[in-house]
Amino acid sequence: MKVLVINCGSSSLKYQLIDSESENVLAKGIVERIGMDGSILTHKPAGKDKVEIKTPMEDHNIAVKLVIDALVNKDHGVINDLSEIGAVGHRVVHGGEKFNKAVLITDEVKKDIEALSALAPLHNPANLIGINACEKNMPGVPQAAIFDTAFHQTMPAPAYMYGLPYEYYEKYKVRRYGFHGTSHDYVSARTAEILGKKREDLKIVVCHLGNGASISAVKNGKCVDTSMGLTPLEGLIMGTRSGDLDPAILSYIGEKENLSAAEVNNVLNKKSGVFGLSGGVSSDFRDLNAAANEGNDKARLALDTYYYRVAKYIAGYAVALQGIDVISFTAGVGENDFGVRENVCKLLAFMGVKIDDEKNKIRGEEITISTPDSAITVMVVPTNEELAIARQTIALL
């Protein structure tokens, strides 16, 4: 069966068409600037050149229609007919406490996703728009919701509660939810598979280090802690997000800079992280490494602070897991930036972590980079959230 995987943002839509038997990606692409000037669809069929389709797209319905047209197109299409698509899997960011696993979409599920928009105002409404647009353009095709938060629902209360008045949890559901769950689930499962062990027998720390970044502690196959919180702002220092900070900084900066709460929130989400700390050099680690190597002190500081935060979280998760068997690095930075892995592991040398410098320089492959005498196995395991979504969609059918 062919599964269309959809990741819908407020003005964008990423997609992959995956053959569930071979698990090959038949085509993938992205629609950008939906509802704005300059809407564009970039479509990449497997084994063929990518095509760019620039045409006004006033809403997601039109975007989905254009994606379908591209998939069945005579020249750059990969299927003959829409009926070849057996199911659609949607990435949905927030499933709250209601969803601890993927579900087939019904009207009831859509209402729940809408109700959870209060917790993810930028994401859930966009996910819902994508779901509605697919329902309209592919009537009768089963659709599934795969939640970013679901894998983390196994966390125990001491890991998910904040030190706040209890009534905020009761009234507003303020607690840690965690994100990137599909990736943490996939990478921890793959880690065990590569090692030829059962995930149920392992204590794994997954470091999903991309533009957004989060760490999770996976014990006996279940998530017991993760670094992102009520929103994807908590935890590690990210590309442009601050991660953890003293909550009093919010009102202090608001007063000093004459910013509203929403404006401070914007600074913490879009102008902070390694981008902000480096004095605006970049949120991209390739640029930061280049700048640091050329002697830019702020870029160096941003990188060193980033390494330190990652290592501190990993060591902290030794408590959550009561020991660590494996550390797995994944996502854009985790898979590609050997300096991040090297420096984080150096900070963990006191725990007996030792890596092989040559193996660590290999990029983007499934590989064990620790030495045989390392107390903890360290691996690079490329994530594949789209494949994980396609697999979960098929499992639901």
284 binds ligand AMP (CB under 6 A): yes
Question: Please, what is the minimum distance in Å from the beta carbon of residue 331 to ligand AMP?
Answer: 4
What DSSP line would sit under 9-72, residue for residue?
-SS-EEEEEEETTT--EEEEEEEESTTSTT-EEEEEETTS--EEEE----SHHHHHHHHHHHHH
Q: Which of 112, 337, 385, 386 binds ligand AMP (CB under 6 A)?
A: 337
**Tokens 């697999």, located at residue:** 391
Pick 147 or 329: Cβ nearer ligand AMP: 329
Pick 11 or 117: Cβ nearer ligand AMP: 11
CA distances to 60, 68, 271 from 56, rounded to whole Å, are 11, 16, 30
Q: Which residue, 38, 28, 37, 30, is CA-closest to 63?
A: 30
Residues 61-90 that bind ligand AMP (CB under 6 A): none
CB 222 within 8 A of CB 154: yes
Pick 177 or 285: Cβ nearer ligand AMP: 285
Q: Which of 124, 242, 336, 384 binds ligand AMP (CB under 6 A)?
A: 336
- Please identify, among the stretches 92-100, 137-145, 251-259, 284-292, the one whose residues bind ligand AMP according to the rule CB under 6 A: 284-292
Q: Which of 148, 185, 325, 337 is catalytic?
A: 148
Question: Please, what is the minimum distance in Å from the beta carbon of residue 357 to ligand AMP?
Answer: 17
Binding footprint of ligand AMP, residue count (CB under 6 A): 12
Residues 211-240 that bind ligand AMP (CB under 6 A): 211, 239
3-state helix, strand, coil in the chain (%, to 5): 45, 20, 35
Pick 142 or 210: Cβ nearer ligand AMP: 210
342 binds ligand AMP (CB under 6 A): no
Pick 95 or 382: Cβ nearer ligand AMP: 382
Q: Which amino acid is at 106?
A: T
| d(C-alpha 79, C-alpha 26), whole Å | 9
- Please identify, among the stretches 28-36, 257-265, 281-289, 346-354, the one whose residues bind ligand AMP according to the rule CB under 6 A: 281-289
Q: Which residue, 23, 13, 17, 145, is CA-closest to 81?
A: 17
Question: Please, what is the minimum distance in Å from the beta carbon of residue 217 to ligand AMP?
Answer: 20
Question: Please, what is the minimum distance in Å from the beta carbon of residue 323 to ligand AMP?
Answer: 28
Binding pattern to ligand AMP, positions 285-324, x when CB under 6 A?
A: xx--------------------------------------
**Position closest to ligand AMP via CB:** 332
| d(C-alpha 176, C-alpha 161), whole Å | 6
Question: Please, what is the minimum distance in Å from the beta carbon of residue 288 to ligand AMP?
Answer: 8
Q: Which of 268, 332, 374, 382 binds ligand AMP (CB under 6 A)?
A: 332
- Please identify, among the stretches 193-201, 217-225, 258-266, 327-335, the one whose residues bind ligand AMP according to the rule CB under 6 A: 327-335
* Helices (runs of H) and strands (runs of E) counted in the chain: 15, 14
CA 216 to chain centre: 12
148 an active-site residue? yes
20 binds ligand AMP (CB under 6 A): no
368: phi then psi, degrees, rounded to nearest 5: -90, 125
CA angle, residues 250, 256, 261, in degrees to nearest 5: 40
Pick 112 or 337: Cβ nearer ligand AMP: 337
| d(C-alpha 136, C-alpha 212), whole Å | 32
Q: Which residue, 6, 43, 30, 3, is CA-closest to 19?
A: 3
Q: In the complex, which residues of this chain contact ligand AMP (CB under 6 A)?
A: 210-211, 239, 283-286, 331-333, 336-337
Report the catalytic residues.
148
